[in-house]
Amino acid sequence: MPLTILRVQKEPFDSAVETAPLLAGRSDIGALVSFTGLCRDEGGALSALEIEHYPGMAEEEIGRVVDEAYTRWPLEGVLVIHRCGIIAPGEPIVLVATACRHRTEAFAAAEFLMDYLKTRAPFWKKQHGEVKQKDATSGDWVAAKVQDDAAAEKWRG
């Protein structure tokens, strides 16, 4: 039976620890692909990233994206962890892992999951600058990228 792990959390995570359950007790899995998205410091200009999400819908939407991945590839396990709240440069933001008999499907499914998560899951990033800002409305919201929509579009038909 495939194992699915989906979580939205404030705390940082360790990808090796988190992906271990996908392989526990399994000898039929030939490929584990994991992707970790990290917070860049943008050349020192960024002091923190603030991630807002839509509680409830974020988890549901990740679930819908994962369900779609299962219909496309013969996956033996999927893990998606996305953080919310304040994230410091160097910390992980998102972890996607796919387990499969063969690597081709595992790589494709991981890329599909990231492309769809970026354009469908209700999360928004706000960049906070070098100077500590106390005002809740300070900071700049990251604008959605056209390339992200194009990346998600390529999985259609």
Partner 1 sequence: MRALYFAWVRERVGLAEEEIVPPADVKTVTDLVAWLKARGENYEAAFANEKTIRAALDRNHVKPDALIATAKEIAFFPPMTGG
Query: Binding of partner 1 at residue 69 (CB under 8 A)?
Result: no
For 57-85, b/e burial (b = at least 16 CB within 10 A) is: ebbebbeebbeebeeebebbbbbbbbbbe
* 13 is a contact residue toward partner 1 (CB under 8 A): no
Residue nearer to partner 1 on the CB measure, 24 or 154: 154
One of 2, 141, 150, 153 touching partner 1 (CB under 8 A): 141
Residues 94-123 that bind partner 1 (CB under 8 A): 94, 114, 117-123
Q: Which of 82, 98, 110, 112 binds partner 1 (CB under 8 A)?
A: 82
By CB under 8 A, residue 143 contacts partner 1 = yes
- Spatial contact of 79 and 94, defined as CB atoms under 8 Å apart: no
Report, in this order, helix, strand and coil percent for the chain, each rounded to 5: 30, 35, 35
- CB contact at 8 A, 117 and 93: no
Among 31, 125, 128, 155, contact with partner 1 (rule: CB under 8 A):
125
Task: Quote the CA–CA distance of 48 and 40 in Å, as a whole number.
Answer: 9
Q: Whole-angstrom Cα distance, residue 132 to residue 153?
A: 38
Cβ of 147: how many Cβ atoms within 10 Å? 9
Part in contact with partner 1 (CB under 8 A); list of ranges 15-23, 68-76, 98-106, 141-149: 141-149
Q: Site size for partner 1, by CB under 8 A?
A: 30
Q: Which stretches of the chain bind partner 1, using CB under 8 A?
A: 37, 51-54, 56-57, 60-61, 82, 93-94, 114, 117-126, 137, 141-145, 148
